[in-house]
Structure 1
Amino acid sequence: MARNCRGQAQLGGLFLTFLGCVCSCATTVLPKWKKLNLELNEMVTWNLGLWEVCVEQEEAGTVCKAFESFLLMPLELQVSRILMVASQGLALLGLLFSGLGSDCSRFPRNQWVLKKFLCLLGGALEASASATILFSVSWVAYVTVQDFWDEHVPDIVPRWEFGDSLFLGWAAGLFLASGGTLLIVSTCLRRQGASLPRRAGPTASFAFIPAEEFLLSSISRQDL
């Protein structure tokens, strides 16, 4: 029963981890970390991402332009780009290791210690990827809020607001954190038949008859 629960928890953790990886990739690629609507022309929306800036117009469509230099980007976007790329590597490695260490994979016998180590390592990597993503999107959100409520900026100046990528990044971090926690908890469950060796139960005692008595009894039976 415990083994079935452990296997189901591992499958749930792998599924949440996969969802977190997909959302994390979308967060990194989509240029919607910040958005800006001009009051003079509400039909035009500016979107700022980690790789490019896009302008959406209802008539002309969407036009994107990549950053000319990495150093020209705001500091929070520079750090977020590095951390998001690092989180992709951590999440993919964690998914690989946890998949190899789960009960679904087949290892040679007496290798359950290695599988346990791989599953724990995968869960730890997923937790690290989650912390990296949450730090990146939360820092960008904090800077956006500070700039939005800055009293030194005139009210007529447009302000950047939260983009859809920030919410997607928060969802990715929660998925990865939940998946990593499930993998670690399921691995720590007691493994039946591995921690304690089987011992033979008490059996009926055999009565051993000395050889001389056995011979005498057999001779007496023949005489009768």
Structure 2
Amino acid sequence: MYKQLQMVLLTTKVMQRVALFISFGGLITTFVTTFLPLWKTLNTELNEMENWYEGLWHTCIFTEEVGVQCKAFESLLALPSDVLASRVLMFISIGTGMLAVTVAFFGLDGVELGPSRAQLKRGLLILGGVLSWVSGIATLLPISLVAYMTVVEFWDQSVPDVVPRWEFGEALFSGWFSGLILVTGGSFFFVSVCMRDCSEASSPPSTQDTPRTQEYLKTEVL
């Protein structure tokens, strides 16, 4: 009974849809993370009720009296190199993630592309997995870069101890999560391709019974 239930759940079609769902979830999380102003947080000891937040696009301050106030970065050329590189990589991640979900959708079993399109659908799934991997790596790189720069600045001995230091924000953790989810979704696409190849290799070739025709000898009566 357990083996039958496992065979029903772990089918190629189910694995394909799980991979598509995971990749789509990672794409949405990456999109939200890109525009969240919570990449870095800062809290001053002089005023504990005042919190600063910084993202790729805005710097925000939160106070109990006023609430949240955000200000966008004024000049693109004045941006730090890590922020500018993170913007580019996050846009690459979003673009490749959208392509991965779109391409992989047309490679799913059940989506008709015409007769004799098995190899094309297999190629689309592989391409979707590769693009999902690229999207995940493009998400992990800027998140790790900003985290590294934050750690370096936090332990910088040249900065006086009285100066507040930036720390990790919630967006970094959601970015790490979305990057790993995208890589996992791409890996599941490859697993589904391997499952389809194994099922096709193990299944016996379909033979159709050809109707037997009886040949009659025509005899002539002399």
TM-score band by shorter chain is 0.7 to 0.9
1:13 counterpart residue number:
19
| Deviation (angstroms), 1:198 | 3.1
1:52 counterpart residue number:
58
Distance in 2 of aligned mates of 1:96 and 1:210: 59
Distance in 2 of aligned mates of 1:20 and 1:14: 10
Runs of 4+ with deviation above 6 angstroms = none
1:69 and 2:71 equivalent?
no
Distance in 2 of aligned mates of 1:98 and 1:209: 53
1:105 and 2:107 equivalent?
no
1:182 counterpart residue number:
188
Distance in 2 of aligned mates of 1:193 and 1:147: 56
1:132 counterpart residue number:
138
- Structure 1 residues 195-214: Cα deviation after superposition (integer angstroms, max 9, x where no partner): 9753468x9x99x99959x9
**Pairing 1:1-224 to 2, within 5 Å after superposition:** 5-189=11-195, 190=197, 192=199, 197-199=205-207
Contact residue 3 and residue 192 of structure 1 kept, 8 A = no
- Structure 1 residues 42-84: Cα deviation after superposition (integer angstroms, max 9, x where no partner): 1111111111111111110111111011122221111001110
Unaligned stretches of 5+ in structure 1? Answer: 216-224
Distance in 2 of aligned mates of 1:198 and 1:104: 20
Q: 1:108 to 1:149 in 2, by over 3 A?
A: same
Q: Aligned pair count?
A: 212
1:221 counterpart residue number:
none
Q: Could you tell me the percent identity over the aligned residues?
A: 41
Q: Which amino acid aligns with 2:39?
A: W
Local SS of the residue matching 2:148: helix
With the length of structure 2 as denominator, give the TM-score of the two structures: 0.86
Q: Which amino acid aligns with 1:198?
A: S
Q: 1:124 to 1:210 in 2, by over 3 A?
A: closer
Distance in 2 of aligned mates of 1:128 and 1:162: 25
Distance in 1 of aligned mates of 2:75 and 2:215: 96
Distance in 1 of aligned mates of 2:110 and 2:76: 43
Local SS of the residue matching 2:77: helix
**What RMSD in Å do the two structures reach over aligned CA positions?**
2.8
| Deviation (angstroms), 1:166 | 0.3
